[in-house]
A = this chain, B = another copy of it.
Amino acid sequence: MEWINKQNVLIVGLGLMGGSYAKALKRIGCRVTAIDRSEDTIKFAVENNIINEGTWKNEEVAKFVKEADCIILALYPNAAIDWVKENVGNIREGIRITDVTGVKSCIVYEIQDILGDKAEFIAAHPMAGKETSGVESADDRIFRDANYIVVPTAKNTEEAILWCENLGQILGFNKVSVLSPEEHDEMIAYVSQLTHCIAVSLMTCKDNEHLKDYTGDSFRDLTRIARINENMWSELFHVNKEPLLKEMDLFINEITELRNLIAQDDTEAIKDKMRLSTKRRSKFNNK
């Protein structure tokens, strides 16, 4: 349970997720430091006791990296790879590094290659979020009903996997599981990226402003995530392109089949699909 010891945790990128990690880890007694490009972000986080100390200045980064007992990368996928490349020289020997990125195959192998034997990168995906971003929105209560997935490769040690599972528990996640990078990326293409593609397409397929007085809960539910951070999501789609295209094709084929059954008045086949849908959905909890 080394997380409970008073260690220096460095968070790289202090947005919604980095800030929420910081709050949870500071509360259990870690000394939390942070690096962010924004002066306002670091100042806000220090003033509000979200971190102990931090910097936005390039010339101070090396000092914070050298002091870190472990590092949490809370950056977009490509930025995470670039950061490790630039800072590998200052990372202490033998420490553990984890991340919060929503895609895995595209970054985990590359970061492990860059680090070599110097430090161990063990990937994780905290499946939590909000429609608002930035450290001002940081709130570790978003972890309570959410899932946390540890995503090891063959290069990871048992100790690092346990350490990372333990981090998920300490942060307060409802469930902690382990998947391979490939299993993770297929799953996330279906349950998260495809759903965002659907919400965006439902919103953009028709000029709908005049309909806002007529929408019910179903339309609002299906489009809640249609307010989308275009920089983050276009990058996530790009780096997980092959799994996402596979899931999109499954879905497009399925809704096209339903469309054709409706066109042909094949009521029994339509009811079969609805019964399957109802049966499957009832297996999911209904939060």
Contact = CB atoms under 8 A, between A and B. Distances in A.
A197 interface: yes
A4 interface: no
A266 to B, nearest CB: 10
A254 B204 contact: yes
B275 A263 contact: no
A79 to B, nearest CB: 15
Interface in A191-239: 191-192, 194-206, 208-209, 211-228, 230-231, 233-234, 237-238
B282 A247 contact: no
Indicate the size class of the contact surface on chain A. Answer: 35 or more
B262 A245 contact: yes
A1 interface: no
A251 B202 contact: yes
A248 B259 contact: yes
A198 B204 contact: no
B187 A211 contact: yes
A195 B204 contact: no
A164 to B, nearest CB: 16
A151 to B, nearest CB: 12
Chain A contact residues: helix, strand, loop or mixed: helix
Contacts of A274: 200, 228, 230, 233-234
Interface string A119-149: 0000000011101000000000000001101
Contacts of A226: 277-278, 280-281
A208 B190 contact: yes
A190 to B, nearest CB: 6
B263 A245 contact: yes
Contacts of A278: 226-228, 230
Interface in A239-287: 241, 244-245, 247-256, 258-259, 262-263, 265, 267, 270-271, 273-278, 280-287
A27 interface: no
Given A199-B222, A230-B278, 7 more contacts: A129-B217, A203-B280, A204-B277, A217-B287, A220-B287, A227-B281, A234-B267
Interface of A: 127-129, 131, 146-147, 149, 175, 177, 179, 187, 190-192, 194-206, 208-209, 211-228, 230-231, 233-234, 237-238, 241, 244-245, 247-256, 258-259, 262-263, 265, 267, 270-271, 273-278, 280-287
The 7 A-B residue pairs whose C-beta atoms are closest, nearest first, are: A205-B254, A230-B274, A201-B255, A203-B277, A230-B271, A200-B277, A226-B281
